[in-house]
Amino acid sequence: MLTQVDRGGGVSVAAPVSHFYRCAASTAASRQHFSDREESAAAPPVTSQTSWIDSAFLSLRFSEIDTRKINNSFLRDHNYATEADIISTVEFNSTGELLATGDKGGRVVVFQREQESKNQPHRRGEYNVYSTFQSHEPEFDYLKSLEIEEKINKIRWLPQQNAAYFLLSTNDKTVKLWKISERDKRPEGYNLKDEEGRIRDPTTITSLRVPVLRPMDLMVEATPRRIFSNAHTYHINSISVNSDHETYMSTDDLRINLWNLEITNRSFNIVDIKPANMEELTEVITAAEFHPNQCNTFVYSSSKGSIRLCDMRTSALCDNHSKLFEEPEDPSNRSFFSEIISSISDVKFSHSGRYLMTRDYLTVKVWDINMESKPLETYQVHDYLRSKLCSLYENDCIFDKFECVWNGTDSVLMTGSYNNFFRMFDRNTKRDVTLEASRENSKPRAILKPRKVCVGGKRRKDEISVDSLDFSKKILHTAWHPNENIIAVAATNNLYIFQDKVN
């Protein structure tokens, strides 16, 4: 699919889907809004505008106080949400220049950060639509009478090696490698066909000319370069590119396959936890990831709350783990739903490779890969839900799979919650904050106000009670720029991009 990108700032897109996204225009006004919450009580007094997050919270020092904040949001212009527009994955590339989102309708939308320009310093670093394409289509497996959903489960970028960008996108069964490249020249002056491509009548050709390349309006095209299919019986839940830049792995409920990026007709099975008798099945794989630096090491998480670290050098089939990270269950917390809430929904290596972060239904845990017996740190995301598990089970929310992300320096963790809330935890200061991704506070340059859920007793003004939380508004997917404090938050069918203030 071709996307016409007008570098002047507006975007006109050939594909029909682009009109769903609108970049919030930047205005001069910005709003300061602070509430006296406990978590900000200890913050240094703020005299004027400050960053979108409690500045001390992030332990970042901003030497200048600048009034221009930029909030980019890509919000649907209509209020109804079509299911196909629900964002199902968000991922920055390795430089943070590009941001890819996948949705339930099988589409991928790639945003590109604007280059900073001296003429318009206030437009620093806004993200605009760069390319949109249909990655996966719904398929029907006739043999099993199964429809294969086109929903994009994961997108992972490949490290950039030339002018083109490459990403892997996957649905339940098939992984595709897409090449996104720019074209700004086109050949003109063919002999046998005219400018529209129609074949010319040979009898009208009286002379020969050499076609030349002439500049044209920039076009961004996405082409599928590899299709890796037919390797998974169960539903693919993750893909991870290896640090060797040659291989990647795809993970379904029971197996992990290793692929070479060049070869599509063969993959190697490196983990298989399928029992000989399916009746004995007790756990499934929920996520897997390669170590960021060691190309022989990867981890996978299970529905039982354990993480296994494997070394591919030990054997061809890594069913035997090198390390098993498991915390003994707290018997006092036992309930009907203990197994469901201990299932790990996401596992991420820190950028350093030294730590692991896991997300289960109520907590985020940080593990040191040198210590298997228990996590280093445990953070409660929304412990007030612990007493509501029965109703969350009835409305299916207990099965929601939240993701978690590290910031670039591995000092802050971020994960989503309900009511369009998302949470951040600072590992150093042990402070945490709850923020909301909503239209009201996504006016350009609006500062995000910390939110608080009150668990009982007297509800203060501006607090929200647990029973008023909207469980249909869940933030499952978030991403953090690899180097800067820019975050992308997917709230159902809207994408919010928040940045800290301009320095």
Partner 1 sequence: MDITAEAKQVMVHALSKMYSSRTQRGGLRLHRSLLLTLVMRSARDIYHSARLTSEEKGQSDTYGVTENTSQAEEPMDTTSSTTAPLRSAATQATEDGQRSGREGHSQIHDPAGLTVDKENCNPTKLDRPSRKRRSKTDTDPDFLPCKKAKLEFVEVRGILQATQNNSAICGRALDSLPLVPMPRTIVTF
Among positions 393-432, residues that touch partner 1 (CB under 8 A) are 393-394, 396, 399
Query: Looking at beta carbons only, is 149 or 426 nearer to partner 1?
Result: 149
Q: Which is nearer to partner 1, 119 or 265 (CB)?
A: 265
471 binds partner 1 (CB under 8 A): no
- Residue 174: burial class (beta carbons within 10 Å; 0-12, 13-18, 19+): buried
Phi-psi domain of 35 (left: phi exceeds 0; alpha: psi -120 through 50; beta: other) = beta
Site map 172..211 versus partner 1, x via CB under 8 A: x---------------------------------------
How far apart are CB 263 and partner 1 at their closest, in Å? 11
Among residue numbers 371 through 390, which ones bind partner 1 (CB under 8 A)?
Answer: 390
Q: Contact 421/475 with Cβ under 8 angstroms?
A: yes
Confirm if 468 and 421 have CB atoms less than 8 A apart.
no
The closest of 152, 180, 183, 182 to 166, measured between CA atoms, is 180
Q: How far is the CB of 242 from partner 1 (least distance, A)?
A: 16
In terms of Cα–Cα distance, which of 253, 341, 262 is closest to 305? 341
Q: Residue 232 and residue 43: Cα distance in Å, rounded?
A: 51
219, 186 contact by CB (below 8 A)? no
Task: Please say which residue, 330 or 394, places its beta carbon nearer to partner 1.
Answer: 394
Q: Is 455 in the site for partner 1 (CB under 8 A)?
A: no
User: Does 147 engage in binding with partner 1 (CB under 8 A)?
Assistant: yes
Which candidate, 229, 315, 313, places its Cα nearest to that of 272? 315
Per CB under 8 A, does 144 bind partner 1? yes
Residue of 5, 152, 158, 254 that binds partner 1 (CB under 8 A)? 254
Strand segments, DSSP code E, in 24-126 are: 71-74, 87-92, 98-103, 107-113
Binding to partner 1 in span 214-253, by CB under 8 A: 230-235, 237, 253
Between 186 and 235, whose beta carbon lies closer to partner 1? 235
Strand partners, 354: none
Q: Is 261 in the site for partner 1 (CB under 8 A)?
A: no
Binding range to partner 1, per CB under 8 A, among 127-135, 145-153, 158-166, 420-428: 145-153
Cα angle value 183/184/185 (rounded, 5°): 100
Handedness of CA 439, 445, 446, 447 (dihedral sign): positive
Q: By C-beta, is 233 or 472 nearer to partner 1?
A: 233
Query: From the CB of residue 388, how many other CB atoms can be counted at a distance below 10 Å?
Result: 16
User: One symbol per residue from 295 to 314: x for binding partner 1 (CB under 8 A), - otherwise; what is it?
Assistant: --------x-----------
- Where on the chain is the footprint of partner 1 (CB under 8 A)? 143-149, 151, 172, 230-235, 237, 253-254, 257, 265-269, 272, 274, 276-279, 281-284, 286, 303, 316-317, 336-340, 343, 390, 393-394, 396, 399
